[in-house]
Chain A
């Protein structure tokens, strides 16, 4: 599959990004093992878009997000921001570029320094950057407080005085104070009460519209992603299983993993219990992952060849790619060797 090098209008681009972490050796001279957190992921995010990265724990989504915002240098591949190779920038340009990217974290209880007042927390990025007077900072903080739905009197309170949802609002205010162009939301509502999810999600959408932001939205909940994102990437154990525009993908989800994720979502509108797709076994460890398709051990439709041959990401229709032997089929030689036979249960 040929990848386009330049996407005019793409704010962030990742090409063949892999991130590997070394595992501490049991004893010196033993074989070095690697955690393949992210393997060969490519994506493009255009200005104003929201791209969703879906997956469960261990799939590499947080590592991917960290690589995108300059926190982790990829072991292979390039990350481009506004056309520039992010990790090749000089330190000053790197810092400037990174100010355009910010993150909203998952856990509202640990993402705010408990000893800082709300004012300190939100103004901190401005303070670090410098060049803004105290009066200007205060004005901006007040403006943002109102934007996220908090009061002026909350300025001098501490995070422990607030609920999870309110803390998340503070975190969001902090994330947008430097007027970033690009925001990574790492499971922003997973740690919150159900009735607050909608509030925070609506706030994020409102801010995106008003400020023209680009979002990378990480979640394991496909229903939320469907409502919020234009593009979706489904990841498993560091690799992309299925990707495309959300319209195309949700109209026709084909990868067994995507289907399993979908079946786990509550669909109140159908009155009968829908078919649950139950996967086998547990998420394997990302240390030295399987050679072939990384999903094969849990896949209910696994075939012989899935164990050894990694599936390539192929187009199956416009704006919809999938990496699965079940869908793309095996080549004729492979079929001849019987690799397309299902694995005995």
Chain B
């Protein structure tokens, strides 16, 4: 894709993203999700400002294993005396960055592959689908272990493997949708007018998949964040970075369970939970927003809870035929007015 086109595509998506954001805001559950994600981003960005202590500070020997107090709202770690609140705040950076960057990279790669496979078809389709089949078979965890051994532990390796193997799911789903869109009559009409394949791909097919891409990406981010936490817990991530998963590993290794330092376990756990929850919440609400029928059924139930019976009675009453004295104009002209009508 040419650079201009990429920028154009992002700009286009930005436009619809804004209206999407508005719709999410109006939905009560969506609002919760948006607020949480917003908070998360804020915390990650403003980490240096918000964290009361330097999370890397391992010199406070005296502060080891402190219970939550005013000075250390979430206590300190047993092994090193690091302030857990500060670590929590800084940990959000890793989660968010990895989750979002991987998600976006997967979105691009998956959408590109899916559209090409679906629209171009033929050999390209076969090739891409066979690659997908192969990638799906390879187990990612052992691969990451091997690679980190070779290349050293870092998040770069993790992101690389996630992206290289994670695009397959999206590609498959997009391809199915593209196969359907390809046969739409409006695509035919454009072809009749002389549209090039590129035009159809960018103007009709890709926008038609944007909903799916955005929704899938949101849920992917949530999944990646959990996966990253797990890998960091196993010690495969960057040992110098602060991550929630790593915090959990340290907590376990430092005997948090043994000493009853529940705050050390709870903090990163809640952090992971909230991050994943907020993204999933947005993803689910998005599905409702995109699929008006789903939205209708959930809001109808709410509507019924607040239904005013008097209002309904009024509506039904207004459906009755009026009991009026004047009869209709007689179809046979001169006859006298007829008896009252069929029913009341």
Contacts and interface: CB of A to CB of B under 8 A. Distances in A.
Nearest to A66: B188
A33 B310 CA distance: 67
Contacts of A141: none
Interface string B196-214: 0001000010011000000
A167 B185 CA distance: 13
Given A107-B185, A111-B185, A115-B207, A129 B192 contact: no
B184 to A, nearest CB: 6
Contacts of A175: 189
Given A105-B189, A110-B184, A110-B185, A128 B194 contact: yes
Interface string B165-201: 0000000000000000000111011111111000100
Nearest to B211: A115
Contacts of B189: 102-103, 105, 111, 124-125, 171, 174-175
A95 interface: yes
Contacts of A129: 193-194
A178 interface: yes
Contacts of A102: 189, 192-193
Interface string A72-114: 0000000000000000000000010011011101010011110
Contact of B191 (A71, A105, A112, A171): A71
Size range of the interface on B? 10 to 19
Interface in A122-154: 124-125, 128-129
Nearest to A160: B292
A69 B184 contact: no
A112 B185 CA distance: 7
Contact of B199 (A128, A174, A178): A128
Given A113-B204, A115-B207, A125 B193 contact: yes
Contact of A124 (B188, B193, B207, B208): B193
B204 to A, nearest CB: 6
A128 B185 contact: no
A230 to B, nearest CB: 24
B208 to A, nearest CB: 7
Contacts of B207: 115
Given A113-B204, A115-B207, A115-B208, A69 B192 contact: yes
Contacts of B193: 99, 102, 124-125, 128-129, 178
A178 B190 CA distance: 12
Contact of B192 (A98, A107, A113): A98
Contacts of A178: 193
Contacts of B188: 71, 103, 105
Contacts of A101: 192
Contact of B194 (A98, A110, A112): A98
Contact of A103 (B192, B194, B199, B208): B192
A124 B190 contact: yes
Interface string B256-281: 00000000000000000000000000
A171 to B, nearest CB: 8
Contacts of A115: 207-208
User: Interface centre among A103, A111, A128, A175, by most B CB within 10 Å?
Assistant: A128
A101 B192 CA distance: 8
Contacts of B191: 71
Nearest to B208: A115
A235 B195 CA distance: 32
22 contacts: A69-B192, A71-B188, A71-B191, A95-B194, A98-B194, A101-B192, A103-B188, A103-B192, A105-B185, A105-B188, A105-B189, A110-B186, A111-B185, A111-B186, A112-B186, A113-B186, A113-B208, A115-B207, A124-B189, A124-B193, A128-B199, A171-B189
Interface of B: 184-186, 188-195, 199, 204, 207-208
In the A-B complex, the 7 residue pairs with the closest CB atoms: A125-B193, A111-B185, A105-B185, A113-B186, A95-B194, A128-B193, A128-B195
